[in-house]
């Protein structure tokens, strides 16, 4: 759909993904005794083959502003913990009821429902433990700001609020595209934007720079979601590691059902161009973030 991503970019994405996996492996150590199953379930949900896009954005934004690597890695891992929790809970029978995620059985399938609920809860708590730890940043005010950003993005005014809207019956009196866009901005977009904010805060970015990053992640997050909807229609189950055509089967509207395949593709291209435009003032320093837009557009899983 857009410029091919370079081998160098993919190496960088993999390198950061591997560092996040190592960090999560250490942050969620296997346990003995009665909690052993909980830790196994948390590891199952968090250590699988994810793209690590949110931590990648946090780290690359932070690097652009010269943030300290250890702080970035821990804060990025915290954002990924929230993402992993959301996937575990979203897959539950009371939500999307999915059997496969990241090419392996979902947590409630590999363990049981109660364990999956608890593993998601514990990953969410762990995310805030990491953000609030002096090991992440020596400055308590910075830690409070990180915690606040993550709380807003993941809670009722962000991801969980978006999920609630997604589960509610579609309101008949509103424009479906408006309702869908707002829902997805909360459900998927809020955590992607949070990743950018975390990097910018840790890098000490100026307010105008944070504003530009927010514009970039808003557009990128929405483009990411529209691509997700296109993959739900056009993707391969084996490549995606999860079921396809879920929205149609559930009778749910998505960007493809409203805009059509060509209209959805046009919208993605428009958002991608706009996302890149927000980075213009950063010049070559933003090269990796620009390539991230192309990666999101061309992703096959």
Q: Name the residues that contact ligand GRG, by CB under 6 A.
A: 50-51, 53, 83, 86-87, 89-90, 95, 102, 159-160, 163, 187-188, 225, 228
- Residue 176 sits at the vertex; the CA angle it makes with 171 and 177, to the nearest 5 degrees, is 150
Q: How far is the CB of 186 from ligand GRG (least distance, A)?
A: 9
Q: How far is the CB of 163 from ligand GRG (least distance, A)?
A: 4
Measured in residues, the chain has a length of 301
Q: Tell me the two tokens of residue 287.
A: 């090269």
Q: How far is the CB of 268 from ligand GRG (least distance, A)?
A: 14
Which lies closer to ligand GRG via its Cβ, residue 86 or residue 217? Answer: 86
Q: How far is the CB of 252 from ligand GRG (least distance, A)?
A: 12
Which lies closer to ligand GRG via its Cβ, residue 180 or residue 205? Answer: 180
- 3-state class (DSSP) for residue 32: coil
Per-position b or e across 271-283, b if 16+ CB within 10 A of its CB: bbebbbebbeebe
Nearest to 45 by CA among 14, 16, 11, 85: 85
φ, ψ (nearest 5 deg) of residue 48: -65, 180
How many CA atoms lie less than 13 Å away from 71 in the CB half-sphere?
A: 22
Place of tokens 């950063």: 282
- Residue 138 sits at the vertex; the CA angle it makes with 137 and 141, to the nearest 5 degrees, is 80
Contact present, 57 and 292 (Cβ < 8 Å): yes
Which lies closer to ligand GRG via its Cβ, residue 65 or residue 216? Answer: 216
Q: How far is the CB of 270 from ligand GRG (least distance, A)?
A: 20
Which lies closer to ligand GRG via its Cβ, residue 81 or residue 87? Answer: 87
Nearest to 294 by CA among 263, 272, 270, 279: 272
Q: How far is the CB of 200 from ligand GRG (least distance, A)?
A: 20
Which lies closer to ligand GRG via its Cβ, residue 54 or residue 278? Answer: 54
Which lies closer to ligand GRG via its Cβ, residue 159 or residue 200? Answer: 159
Which lies closer to ligand GRG via its Cβ, residue 65 or residue 254? Answer: 254
Contact present, 142 and 131 (Cβ < 8 Å): no
Q: How far is the CB of 80 from ligand GRG (least distance, A)?
A: 8
φ, ψ (nearest 5 deg) of residue 155: -95, -150
Give the residue nearest to ligand GRG (CB). 50
């Amino acid at each position: 759909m857009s410029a091919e991503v370079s081998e160098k970019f993919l190496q960088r994405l993999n390198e950061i993904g591997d560092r996040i996996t190592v960090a999560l492996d250490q942050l969620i150590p296997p346990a003995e005794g009665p909690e052993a199953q909980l830790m196994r379930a948390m590891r199952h949900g968090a250590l699988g083959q994810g793209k690590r896009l949110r931590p990648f954005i946090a780290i690359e934004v932070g690097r652009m502003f010269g943030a300290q690597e250890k702080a970035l890695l821990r804060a990025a891992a915290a954002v990924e913990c929230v993402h992993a929790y959301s996937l575990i809970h979203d897959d539950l029978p009371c939500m999307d009821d999915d059997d496969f995620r990241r090419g392996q059985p979902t947590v409630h399938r590999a363990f049981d429902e109660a364990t999956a609920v608890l593993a998601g809860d514990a990953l969410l708590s762990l995310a805030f433990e990491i953000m609030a730890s002096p090991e992440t940043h020596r400055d308590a005010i910075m830690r409070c700001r990180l915690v606040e950003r993550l709380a807003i993005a993941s809670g009722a005014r962000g991801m969980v609020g978006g999920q609630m809207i997604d589960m509610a019956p579609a309101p008949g009196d509103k424009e479906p595209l408006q309702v869908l866009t707002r829902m997805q901005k909360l459900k998927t977009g809020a955590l992607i934007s949070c990743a950018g904010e975390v990097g910018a805060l840790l890098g000490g970015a100026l307010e105008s720079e944070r504003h530009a990053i927010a514009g970039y992640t808003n557009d990128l997050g929405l483009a990411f979601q529209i691509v997700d909807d296109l993959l739900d229609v056009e993707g391969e189950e084996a490549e995606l590691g999860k079921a396809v055509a879920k929205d149609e089967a559930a009778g749910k509207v998505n960007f493809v059902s409203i805009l059509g395949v060509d209209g959805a593709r046009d919208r993605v291209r428009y958002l991608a161009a706009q996302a890149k435009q927000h980075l213009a003032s950063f010049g070559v320093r933003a090269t990796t973030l620009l390539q991230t837009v192309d990666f999101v557009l061309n992703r096959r899983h």
